[in-house]
Chain A
Amino acid sequence: MSASLLSLVSGLTIVALEILIVWRNWSFPLKHGPGYFAGAAVAEGFYESGGRRWLTGYRTLLIVRWLLLAGVVTVVIGSGDWSRMPVIAPVAVVSFLAVQLGYPLLTRYAVGSGRTALQKAALPLKRRRLGEYLSWRSEVLMLTVITASWVLLLTLGGPAVSLACPVITTYIALARLPGQIIVARSGCALPPEQTSEYEHWMEVRKRSSLRFMSAMAWFNALTLASYAVRQSWPAEPWVLWMAVAAIVVSFAVMMVIVFRGLHRMEEAGRGLKPLESFSWPFRRVGLSGRGSVVWAVCYCLGLAVLLVVFRG
Chain B
Amino acid sequence: MFVTIDSSDPRPLYRQIADGIKDLIARGELSEGMALPGLRQLSGDLGVNLNTIATAYRELQDEGLVKIRHGSGAVVSSTRSHDVQVDELRKPLRAALTRFVLAGATHAEILSVVQRELDSLDSKGVTR
Contact = CB atoms under 8 A, between A and B. Distances in A.
A282 B4 CA distance: 13
Given A128-B37, A281-B7, A123 B2 contact: yes
Given A124-B1, A127-B36, A187 B44 contact: yes
A126 interface: yes
Interface of B: 1-8, 17, 20-21, 24, 30, 35-38, 41-42, 44-48, 73
Contacts of B4: 120-123, 192
A289 interface: yes
B36 A125 contact: yes
Interface in A157-208: 185-190, 192, 195, 199
Nearest to B48: A282
Nearest to A125: B1
A4 B30 CA distance: 63
A119 interface: yes
A126 B37 contact: yes
Contacts of A119: 6-8
A280 interface: yes
Nearest to A186: B44
A185 B45 CA distance: 10
A189 to B, nearest CB: 5
Nearest to B47: A283
Contacts of A186: 44
Contacts of B2: 122-125, 190, 195, 199
A280 B48 CA distance: 12
Contact of B47 (A124, A199, A282): A282
A282 B53 CA distance: 13
Contacts of A284: 47
A127 B6 contact: no
A44 B73 CA distance: 46
**Chain B contact residues: over half helix, strand or loop, or mixed?**
mixed
Contacts, number: 73
A222 B34 CA distance: 41
Interface string A274-309: 000000111110000100000000000000000000
B5 A121 contact: yes
A283 B47 CA distance: 5
Contact of A123 (B30, B38, B46): B46
Contacts of A188: 45, 47
A282 B46 contact: yes
B3 A123 contact: yes
A136 B8 CA distance: 44
Contacts of A195: 2
A126 B48 contact: no
Contact of B30 (A125, A189, A190): A125
B5 A123 contact: yes
Contact of A189 (B1, B36, B38, B45): B45
Given A122-B2, A125-B21, A188-B47, 9 more contacts: A119-B6, A120-B6, A120-B7, A125-B1, A127-B36, A128-B37, A189-B45, A281-B7, A283-B48
Most A-side CB within 10 Å, residue of B30, B37, B45, B47: B45
A123 B43 CA distance: 10
Interface in A121-141: 121-128
Nearest to A283: B47
A282 B42 CA distance: 12
B46 A121 contact: yes
B28 to A, nearest CB: 14
